[in-house]
């Protein structure tokens, strides 16, 4: 995570695009909430925004709108691990709408950005994304989630005998294939 954060902070164009969001109190509040393991919602969104920016720029897509939308795609502002009486429905299905409604309070949102935020959990949420940029965030989001979880799972379980035994068996199996 540290390496990618250094890269992000040194990318002047990317930082200039999302700078107003980085100074926004709603966005800064994401630092309080954990998304995957030790990664905050803020760092998760920042990383996703950066990858979306790089990919969309490479494919001549709307990288400015996409980077901004990705920066707020998880702006739900609560601890999703805790059950709250006023929260209805499963977090996985409801948080894109909450993030979208919060994002509307702090920035102008175009149709592309609305689609990106509301559909980012696809294919869990069934409605198909309408734009290539939306598909890019759905993939980047899952990649970031895996990345953020993998390191934690590995460092947590790598000391356990069963984990090492399983890891060894899988490695041997892969070598034999």
Give the integer Cα–Cα distance in Å for 26 and 76. 10
Provide, rounded to whole angstroms, the least separation between the CB of residue 139 and Fe ion.
Answer: 11
Q: Could you list the residues that contact Fe ion (CB under 5 A)?
A: 74, 141
Given the complex with Fe ion, which of 14 and 95 has the nearer CB atom? 95
Dist CA 151 CA 37 (whole Å): 9
Smaller CB separation from Fe ion, 143 or 157: 143
Residue with Cβ nearer Fe ion (125 or 163) = 125
Min dist. Cβ of residue 160 to Fe ion (A): 29
Class of residue 34 by CB neighbours under 10 A (exposed 0-12, middle 13-18, buried 19+): middle
CB of 96 to Fe ion, least distance (A): 6
Contacts of 4-7 spanning 24+ positions with Cβ under 8 A: 4/47, 4/50, 5/43, 5/46, 5/47, 7/50
Supply the minimum distance, in Å, between the C-beta of residue 91 and Fe ion.
9
Smaller CB separation from Fe ion, 77 or 167:
77
């Amino acid at each position: 995570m540290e390496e990618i954060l250094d890269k992000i902070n040194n990318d002047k164009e990317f930082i200039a695009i999302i700078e107003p969001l980085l100074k926004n109190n709603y966005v800064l509040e994401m630092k309080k909430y954990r998304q995957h393991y030790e990664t905050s919602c803020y760092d998760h969104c920042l990383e996703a925004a950066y990858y979306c920016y790089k990919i969309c720029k490479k494919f001549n897509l709307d990288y400015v709108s996409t980077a901004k939308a990705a920066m707020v795609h998880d702006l739900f502002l609560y601890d999703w691990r805790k059950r709250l009486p006023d929260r209805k429905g499963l977090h996985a299905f409801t948080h894109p709408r909450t993030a979208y409604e919060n994002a509307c309070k702090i920035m102008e949102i175009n149709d592309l950005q609305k689609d990106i935020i509301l559909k980012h959990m696809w294919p869990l949420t069934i409605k198909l994304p309408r734009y290539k940029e939306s598909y890019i965030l759905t993939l980047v989001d899952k990649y970031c989630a895996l990345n953020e979880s993998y390191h934690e799972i590995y460092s947590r379980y790598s000391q356990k005998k069963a984990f090492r035994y399983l890891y060894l068996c899988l490695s041997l199996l892969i070598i034999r294939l």
